[in-house]
Amino acid sequence: MADRNRLSINQATTRQQHTLAEAIAAYSTQDVPGIGIWRDKLEECGLAEAKRRLDDSGLKVSSLCRGGMFPHPTAGKRQAALDDCRIAIEQAAELDADCLILVAGGLPAGSKDLIGARQMIREGLAAVLPNARAAGVPVAIEPLHPMYAADRCAINTLDQALDLCDALGEGVGVAVDAYHVWWDPKLEAAIARAAGRILGFHVCDWLVPTTDLLLDRGMMGDGVIDLPALHRAVSAAGYVGPIEVEIFSTANWWRRPGDEVIATCKERFQACV
C-alpha cells in the first residue's frame, strides 16, 4: 500500500472543475500533499500568483506538464518547440517542480517517417538538456501508449525512453505512467533497468471497454491494470517520490463535483495503489 504522504493529484484530474488557483485551494483543503501542474492552467493563473498560492498552501509540485513536441516539418517550427521547452524549464525551476514532463511529439505534419521523427526527438532533447541541467530541472521522458505514436509521442515504450537516457546522459530520466505502459510484455525488466532514473509515477486505470482513447481513463480499481504489482516494481527500482493520480475523463470524473473526485482519489489511492 502506498504511503498517503506520497499522493499527488495531477490537476488534469479536475481540469474541468478547477482553475489552478481553485485546484490548489481544493487539494490543500483535503490534505492532498502534492499537485501536478499543466502549463495552460499555469498561464491562466500567472506564474507569480501560482507561486504565492502554492507557498501559502504548502502543496509540493510533483511535475510540470509539459515540454517537448519536438518533431515538425520546418526548421522554424522545430526552433519554436525548443524555445517553448526552454520556457517550460524556467517555469519548472520557478515552481520548484520535481521534474518537467516531456511528451516528445509524433510524426511531423504530412510525414510517415517514424524513424526521422524519433531522430528529431533525440536532437530536440539534446538541445534543451543544457538548459535543464543549468536550471537544476530533471527532465522526465514519458513514453505514451503506441496509439499516440502518430500525433502525440513516438516514444512508446519505457525501453525506448531509457535508450534516450543512455544516449543523452545526466539530467534526463523517465516518468512511468500506468495508462501508457501497463500492456508492455517487457515492462518488469524495463522498470528494473530504470532504477535511479524514475522521476515520476502516474496512476489511473484502463477501462474495458474504453470509449475514448484519450479522455476515458478510469479511477484506480475500476479497470484492468494491476496497480499494486506496478507499484511494487517501481518501488523495487528505488522510486520513493510522489505518485500522481492523472485521470482524463469527459464522461465520468470531469462531470462530478471536484470535492467528490478528490475524496475518491484519496480513497482509491490507499485501497488500490
Which CATH number does the domain housing residue 151 bear? Answer: 3.20.20.150
- Can you read off the three cell numbers belonging to residue 99? 521534474
User: 144's torsion region: left (phi>0), alpha (psi -120 to 50) or beta?
Assistant: beta
Q: Give the model confidence (pLDDT) of 201-248 as tens digits.
A: 999 999 999 999 999 999 999 999 999 999 999 999 999 999 999 999
Q: Which amino acid is at 262?
A: I
Question: Which run of H or E residues covers position 49?
Answer: helix 47-57
Q: Give the model confidence (pLDDT) of 26-71 as tens digits.
A: 999 999 999 999 999 999 999 999 999 999 999 999 999 999 999 9
Helices (H), 169-212: 178-181, 187-193
Q: Give the model confidence (pLDDT) of 121-140 as tens digits.
A: 999 999 999 999 999 999 99
Sole residue written with cell 484502463: 206
Total of domains in the chain: 1
Task: Decide: helix, strand or coil at residue 181.
Answer: helix
- Domain span at residue 164? 4-272
